[in-house]
Structure 1
Amino acid sequence: MPTITTKDDVEIFYKDWGSGQPIVFSHGWPLSSDDWDAQMMFFVRRGFRVVAHDRRGHGRSQQVADGHDMDHYADDLAAVVEHLELTDAVHVGHSTGGGEVVHYLARHGQDRAAKAVLISAVPPIMVKTESNPDGLPKEFFDDVQEQVATRRADFFREFAEGPFYGYNRPGAEPKEGIIANWWRQGMAGGAKAHFDGVVAFSQTDFTADLQAVTLPALVMHGEDDQVVPYADSGPLSAQLLPNGTLKSYPGYPHGMPTTHADVINNDLLEFITS
């Protein structure tokens, strides 16, 4: 398996397919680079180089006890980019991966990047605070951590067959393969990484990161996102990005890169090539 070793000796698995302008994909919690299959196959067949890694503690990367925070996530992404000598890269992040992308660009600079895309992403901040009164209460995320710590397998199954893909909505048609694939990816990772990752994606304030990213940036968000509520994320992120554009999707769920891959892929292609 292709891997790199970070400065703090963590082995990170990555995929690197094709040639041409690189598109770098950062996955959501608690998944792996496999969640980007529909996008990576779409773009590699259209002459792009597609790269994705498994976040530390996730998928095939090393299950370490520590470092499950946005600084380490951004540094690991930087290590992959530098190892592969990527330039003119388009960075695409879904959910937690969207936070990883903006934190990477703000922390490590934008010289190697061309554009950024945030899909159903966690920025600016998810948890309720004095400055973010419409956020979700910390108790909600505490409960997610408790579920991960005590009944992870059942919780992951319920999450995939429920709010993640909107399969709990009236008239929805759950796809067993999609649900099973989500569960497979989640259970391949480490419980400690998933437990700590809840704090990373929910309590990190990405406001300054968003303001620092001056590249052309597309924010894509489903209006029926039950995981990262639309009103508290998409429009606010687009406003904070100096060169941001918001594209909203009525009725689309959090996992729309999978459930609506045909639409998302073509919209990504239009943005990347424009």
Structure 2
Amino acid sequence: MTTYAPSAAETAVRTSDGALLAVTVLAPLGAPSGSTVVLAHGWAAARRVWGTVADRLIRSGHRVVLYDQRGHGASSAGREPFGIARLGADLGAVVDHVDAPDAVVVGHSGGGFAALSYVSSGARALRGLVLLGTAAHDQDTPDSEVRMMGSALFSRALRRPALGRLLLGQTMGKGADRRAMEVNRQMFAATAPSVRADAFRSSRGMDLREALGSVRVPAVVLAGAGDRVIAPALGRAVAEALPKARFEEVPGAGHMLPLEAPWAVVRAVRDLAG
């Protein structure tokens, strides 16, 4: 049995275009008995979204790597525009930095876009891929939503706890825990408006389905049955495009699976890590 007394190391990865990505590496006391798991969060979130997931993975003996996407949390933006291919390259830089060629990569929402871009670009083989509330196509965010994400009015509303939770209500399932809703609001409010707008604009025209046909990494695709942000049917399409994937809906959950159903995420990692 793994003794639960994790070590933690804070580090940073400099990308090829000059962004500095904040990275946390967590490991159980002694030699990890499981694979390295790299966690990539979605738009307007941060490393803290993985708190419960990371805790349970460490208790299971895994080395866990968390990082803030560029422009989010403690990570800076680089010279290149915020884009899906760029985010895939960022993920690759993190995987290389922590020397984890056999990692299980977990990507939520926009982090899933990054993971799909990474594996479809001919990246080195991973042990597995867990995709949460994500898609490979049909993510053309309307101009009105992009403008809202970047607006000062929306930012002020997000800073008011009750109003912010109400505005972000569609991101969670109907029975979501209030504490999880508050964590979601805090992360959204802490993300710079320009970064929110750039992130939501970045997936326009994305269609990775054809490229995924050559990806041989075993994958599990999870979707909240009540996801009103990215429809579960789009997650099913990802699983159909990947040759070695299975799809599963999580009853009662919405879009924020790392907060709403951490047990489902951990179970998927265990299935792939062996």
Over 3 Å counting, the alpha-carbon distance change for 1:227 and 1:46 in structure 2 is same
Over 3 Å counting, the alpha-carbon distance change for 1:66 and 1:159 in structure 2 is farther
Kindly indicate whether residue 187 of structure 2 is the aligned counterpart of residue 185 of structure 1.
yes
Once the two structures are TM-superposed, the CA of residue 257 in structure 1 deviates from its matched residue by 2.5
Query: 1-side partners of 2:167 and 2:271: how far apart?
Result: 29
Over 3 Å counting, the alpha-carbon distance change for 1:34 and 1:238 in structure 2 is same
Please list every run of 5 or more consecutive structure 1 residues that lacks an aligned counterpart in the other structure. Answer: 128-137
For the 8 Å contact 2:18–2:79, the answer to whether it is kept is no
Aligned identity (percent) is 24
From 52, 58, 61, the equivalent of 1:47 is 61
Over 3 Å counting, the alpha-carbon distance change for 1:239 and 1:207 in structure 2 is same
Over 3 Å counting, the alpha-carbon distance change for 1:213 and 1:164 in structure 2 is same
**1:79: which partner in 2?**
93
Query: 2-side partners of 1:77 and 1:173: how far apart?
Result: 29
TM-score (norm 1): 0.85
The one-letter code matched in structure 1 to 2:259 is T
Over 3 Å counting, the alpha-carbon distance change for 1:98 and 1:173 in structure 2 is closer
For the 8 Å contact 2:224–2:251, the answer to whether it is kept is yes
Query: 1-side partners of 2:139 and 2:93: how far apart?
Result: 27
**Over aligned residues, Cα RMSD in angstroms?**
2.1
Query: 2-side partners of 1:87 and 1:236: how far apart?
Result: 27
Once the two structures are TM-superposed, the CA of residue 124 in structure 1 deviates from its matched residue by 3.1
Query: 2-side partners of 1:155 and 1:146: how far apart?
Result: 15
Kindly indicate whether residue 42 of structure 2 is the aligned counterpart of residue 25 of structure 1.
no
The one-letter code matched in structure 2 to 1:184 is Q
**Larger deviation: 208-217 or 73-82?**
208-217
From 118, 123, 131, the equivalent of 2:131 is 118
The superposition leaves residues 201-253 of structure 1 with CA deviations (integer Å, 9 ceiling, x where unpaired) of 3532121332232111111112211010112x121111111111111223321
**2:211: which partner in 1?**
209
From 6, 12, 18, the equivalent of 2:21 is 12
Over 3 Å counting, the alpha-carbon distance change for 1:116 and 1:59 in structure 2 is same
The superposition leaves residues 24-73 of structure 1 with CA deviations (integer Å, 9 ceiling, x where unpaired) of 11111111121111111111111111112101001110145752101111
**Structure 2 counterparts to residues 1-274 of structure 1, below 5 A:** 1-18=10-27, 19=32, 20-64=34-78, 66-111=80-125, 113-127=126-140, 138=141, 141-150=142-151, 151-153=153-155, 154=157, 157-158=164-165, 161-166=168-173, 169=174, 172=175, 174-175=177-178, 177-231=179-233, 233-273=234-274
The one-letter code matched in structure 2 to 1:78 is G
The superposition leaves residues 119-173 of structure 1 with CA deviations (integer Å, 9 ceiling, x where unpaired) of 111223323xxxxxxxxxx5xx32221112213322582566411112xx4xx36
Over 3 Å counting, the alpha-carbon distance change for 1:252 and 1:49 in structure 2 is same
Query: 1-side partners of 2:166 and 2:143: how far apart?
Result: 16
Query: 1-side partners of 2:191 and 2:74: how far apart?
Result: 7
Aligned residue pairs total 254
For the 8 Å contact 2:224–2:232, the answer to whether it is kept is yes
TM-score (norm 2): 0.85
For the 8 Å contact 1:223–1:251, the answer to whether it is kept is yes
**1:131: which partner in 2?**
none
The superposition leaves residues 179-198 of structure 1 with CA deviations (integer Å, 9 ceiling, x where unpaired) of 22222222333222211111
Query: 2-side partners of 1:194 and 1:259: how far apart?
Result: 22
Over 3 Å counting, the alpha-carbon distance change for 1:97 and 1:173 in structure 2 is closer
**Larger deviation: 157-166 or 194-203?**
157-166
SS in 2 for 1:2: strand
For the 8 Å contact 1:60–1:189, the answer to whether it is kept is no
For the 8 Å contact 2:20–2:76, the answer to whether it is kept is yes
For the 8 Å contact 1:211–1:241, the answer to whether it is kept is yes
